[in-house]
C-alpha cells in the first residue's frame, strides 16, 4: 500500500468513514454551530449548553432535611416479617415429623410425599419451618 501523509491508505479511509458515521444532529442550529475538531463538551460549552445538568444547575443549600429525616426514620424501623410459609408446607412438615421423627429416608418413601422430594429436600423444608417457628 502507498503511504499517504504517514498513514496507509486503508487507515486514512477508515478515519473518513468514522467521521461520516458520526450521529446525525437533527437540530439545525446545533448542526451548523458544531465544530468536528472539538470535543462534545467544548462544543456544548461554546453554544451555552450543558452536558451534565447536575453541574450546570447547583443545588440550593437551604433545602430543609425533613424529607431525609423521614426517610431515615422509616428505614431504621424493623422489617415486618409475616408468615411466608404456605399452609400446605406447614401441614406436610407436621405430618412427616409426627409419623417419622428424624428419619428422612422414611419420609421420602411416604405416600404423602406427593412431590417426590428427596431426603435432603425434606430436611431443608423442615429446617425452613424451624426457622419460622423456632419454639415448636
Q: Is residue 62 part of a domain?
A: no
User: What pLDDT band is residue 8 in, cutting at 50, 70 and 90?
Assistant: low
The model's pTM: 0.41
Query: From the CA atom positions of the chain, what is the Rg in Å?
Result: 35
Q: Is residue 118 part of a domain?
A: yes
Q: Is residue 77 part of a domain?
A: no
Query: What is the chain's mean pLDDT, rounded?
Result: 80
Q: Which of 64, 34, 128 is nearest to 90 (CA)?
A: 128
The segment with the largest mean pLDDT, out of 11-15, 46-50, 117-121, is 117-121
Q: What's the confidence (pLDDT) of residue 43?
A: 85
Residues 34 and 19: their CA atoms lie apart, in Å, by 13
**How many domains, in total, are found in the chain?**
2
Q: Is residue 34 part of a domain?
A: yes
Q: Residue 26's domain spans which residues?
A: 3-56
Rounded to an integer, the average pLDDT of 43-51 is: 83
Amino acid at each position: 500500500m502507498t503511504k499517504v501523509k504517514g498513514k496507509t491508505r486503508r487507515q486514512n479511509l477508515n478515519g473518513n468513514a468514522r467521521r461520516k458515521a458520526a450521529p446525525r444532529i437533527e437540530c439545525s442550529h446545533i448542526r451548523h454551530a458544531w465544530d468536528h475538531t472539538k470535543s462534545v463538551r467544548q462544543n456544548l460549552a461554546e453554544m451555552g449548553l450543558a452536558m451534565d445538568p447536575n453541574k450546570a444547575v447547583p443545588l440550593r443549600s437551604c433545602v430543609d432535611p425533613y424529607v431525609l429525616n423521614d426517610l431515615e426514620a422509616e428505614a431504621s424501623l424493623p422489617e415486618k416479617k409475616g408468615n411466608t410459609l404456605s399452609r400446605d408446607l406447614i401441614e406436610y412438615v407436621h405430618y412427616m415429623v409426627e409419623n417419622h421423627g428424624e428419619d428422612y429416608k422414611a419420609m421420602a418413601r411416604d405416600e404423602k410425599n406427593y412431590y417426590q422430594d428427596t431426603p435432603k429436600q425434606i430436611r431443608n423444608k423442615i429446617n425452613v419451618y424451624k426457622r419460622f417457628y423456632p419454639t415448636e
